[in-house]
Chain A
């Protein structure tokens, strides 16, 4: 088994007698994007700052590629890492000055600086912005510069603290797609902190859930979304259904996807043969005893394996080859006479499906 790139053991931090962090074990595998998911105030940012050596823990051990972090190797290890703050703050000067600042801190020579600047400007489409002040840029452009400032350093580890927070939906979609593409191409081992389910679903190779300073569940997206370890996590994950598939046909933005033996129709710009992850919310699902003739394109036949009260609704879990969740009212449960083991139809409109983007990354060159 491959050794984790980062291991954290018994990390504890408290402030004014209040426990902020208590992480017994955490690991990060090579080239993965681990999404650290949790509500605001759960200790995610503190955790990132501590493992980036920007803040001191009360106790605990941090190992980078098997090397235990201590006072002597702190600077050396910290330079393997780039940590991006939640708020994009910029140094005085132009976009170019800002991009080069980290390279200057690390004493990278001028020809290398020039080479990396050219590559990153190209990759993040920043060529026309280089001589402008970051203060003149739009929110999306600033976020792009913020991210580029990390990638230009070609770090081994990239830690991002809610980097896409507060962006317009349009900017968010653009930048998250760019980030996904560039991160995959660079192969940088990443931790991304977020409290947004959609972001987690789009970007995570693996998910770690943090609640009240503790990592309460770690696993693949499907594991955490479909089998949350506690009701609290279940509430946090929003009961979204998540399923992996492959695009069988792509026609003018309308996709035919094969997912766990089922055919799913959705809207997206993915190409044929691409691997995708589909997500949809339980409130978008309709249930029926017979498959009706409606405009709803996706109908899945499955067996009820769980009926659970959830807030004022009933959460119905079906096995349709993948685990699907639906909210229905108590009246609907009675009318449909839903019981465990009963076979029913679940329908979802193609437009209600969100698709995690997949990209062709072969054409992007990264690294020296």
Chain B
């Protein structure tokens, strides 16, 4: 395996998982705000479904996305099977409940009186929502860290809908499977180290963001 190939695979892994997380945040965070702030019929059912979705097996997601985009499937005409786009969609479905569920849990940690006090000090709806995110920043970043960790290390769904096509849909996880199957353990180990390093770097960045400002309050500490 050449360096160029490794770089391409690493880049695609980042791209697919990054897009999937980005889309999950775009769709999931507004949905979480609605779930948290609004009262409506069926809210509890939706939250239960989201919580169930947090444990969704990636192969099951892969199966449904494959059925959807299969040539004879309902969206077959889009010719998206075995493309990076299909992989993004599969990872998006895996990430979405993780983002909503963990983000909602982070919102629940915020004292509702804080939001009421903000309103009472003149905050508009938009400012209140912004404050809600600010107050739950730690939990929100934990949600993104968990969702990113979930999708970048996922292999079943991307293998099923991406097909592990060389120079097209091959990502780090599917390459590790491939190289191991072929007995190329050294390549597989290199790729595994890259995957771990990548995962560490992204998490380190997000954790730095999360912990920013935490040190402001110095006590109490355990000694």
Contact = CB atoms under 8 A, between A and B. Distances in A.
B207 interface: no
B42 interface: no
Nearest to A131: B216
A149 B121 contact: yes
B44 interface: no
Nearest to B128: A105
Given A85-B117, A89-B117, A91-B131, A102 B219 contact: no
Contacts of A133: 216-217
Given A91-B135, A92-B134, A135-B217, A106 B113 contact: no
Contacts of A37: none
Given A89-B113, A91-B131, A92-B135, A102 B216 contact: no
Interface in B111-142: 111, 113-114, 116-124, 127, 131, 134-135, 137
Interface in A75-120: 75, 78-79, 81-85, 87, 89-94, 101-102, 105-106
Interface string A35-46: 000000000000
B213 interface: yes
Nearest to B111: A89
Main secondary structure, interface of B, reads helix
Contacts of A136: 217-219
Chain A contact-residue range equals 20 to 34
A54 interface: yes
Chain B contact-residue range equals 20 to 34
Contacts of A79: 122
A105 B118 contact: yes
Contact of A89 (B114, B124, B216): B114
Nearest to A53: B119
A197 to B, nearest CB: 26
Contacts of A101: 118, 121
A133 B220 CA distance: 13
B22 to A, nearest CB: 26
16 contacts: A54-B116, A82-B120, A84-B120, A85-B116, A85-B120, A89-B113, A89-B117, A92-B134, A92-B137, A92-B213, A93-B216, A94-B216, A101-B118, A102-B121, A102-B122, A105-B124
